[in-house]
Chain A
Amino acid sequence: MGIKRSKKSEKVITCKQVTQLIMDYINNELDAKATKTFELHLKDCNDCVAFLNTYKKTIGGVRSMKPEDVPQEIIEKVRHSIMKKLTIITFIAYLC
């Protein structure tokens, strides 16, 4: 849905502007006036409500992915390789 008429004193923003401000809105980084303008748009625009819901859900979905534990064998493999190289580096430094 588009934006309905607003009172004379209220600033009206477009769906495109809402999309540009959406991250700041979610992070509570808009000032009070901008927040009011943003929410006023949402009140009359189902398209932007749907967009906001799906945008927020995308972030939530990504964040819900639990970090996988790193297998101990990989840690040991890399540690062994690094320590081997360090020993060589240190030995060469010692010789020089």
Chain B
Amino acid sequence: MNNLNLIDEKGLNDFSTLPHLYDKRPYKEREASLIEGVKAGDHSSFNEIFEENFPMVYRLAHKLLGNSSEAEDVVQEVFLLVYRKTITFEGKSDFSTWLYRLTANTALSRLREIKKYKKVFVDEYLPQFNNDGHHKVRPVADWSLQVDKLVSDKQFSGLIHEAIDQLKPLDKAVIVMSDLEEMTNREIGNALGLSLQAVKSRLHRARLFLRGKLAVHLGYSPT
């Protein structure tokens, strides 16, 4: 095995003579060779991949799980998977998409375990309509200008995080990836194994729920 050769020749953590250490190109341009390095068992290549991608992996895990301790565990699990599974990465998708998928799957599994006994009535915050298709509660209040004031308040972030936390794990992942991580719907679909239509549908429902929560917070009907 290549990694064993490296250990034999240079010692367990001594990779100081590897050529990529002198490669000053930006990370993205070196990513492919770093991945090959990890496949060969090179810890310093792995360390560079870790360094570059840690913030994204941690942020996503933290937003999905809602606390640092769980996020740290998930990040560790994800990067150990990266080390073990990079050999199966064929480069058919972006490495970042592959990494998002690993992170989302690992965090979602953990989230489902935690959320097993919690039940949230999301439908109560979604818009409702009469049989003729009109809004059930009329007039619909336009509280949009009040949100500007709320955004500058620290409470806003807490309110949104609390609301996001009440969503089903997959809906939560979709809105976090879309509106907080600024991923495209296609990227989200690839990372979560969902069709484009399923991503859009879940995203819309999650946004309607957050809108409902904001409305209630401001003293209006959610519907």
Nearest-CB distance from A45 to chain B (Å)? Answer: 9
For the complex, is A36 an interface residue (Cβ under 8 Å from B)? no
B212 CB, nearest partner CB in chain A, Å: 9
| A-B Cβ contacts below 8 A, count | 139
Interface size on B, residues (CB 8 A): 56
| Contacting pair B13 A87 (CB below 8 A) | yes
B160 to chain A, nearest CB (A): 6
Main secondary structure of the interface of A (DSSP, over half): helix
Interface size on A, residues (CB 8 A): 50
B141 at the interface (CB under 8 A from A): yes
- Please determine whether A54 and B211 come into contact, CB atoms closer than 8 angstroms: yes
A93 contacts chain B at the CB level, 8 A cutoff: yes
Return the contact of A15 from the options B79, B135, B144 (Cβ within 8 A): B135
Q: Find residues 7-50 in chain A having any chain B CB closer than 8 Å to their own CB.
A: 14-17, 19-20, 22-24, 46-50
Residues on the B chain within 8 Å of A83, using CB = 43, 47
- A58 is an interface residue with CB less than 8 A from chain B: yes
B221 to chain A, nearest CB (A): 11
Distance A22 CA – B54 CA, assembled complex (angstroms)? 35
Scan residues 67-88 of chain A and give those whose CB is less than 8 A from a CB of chain B: 67-70, 74-75, 77-79, 81-83, 85-87
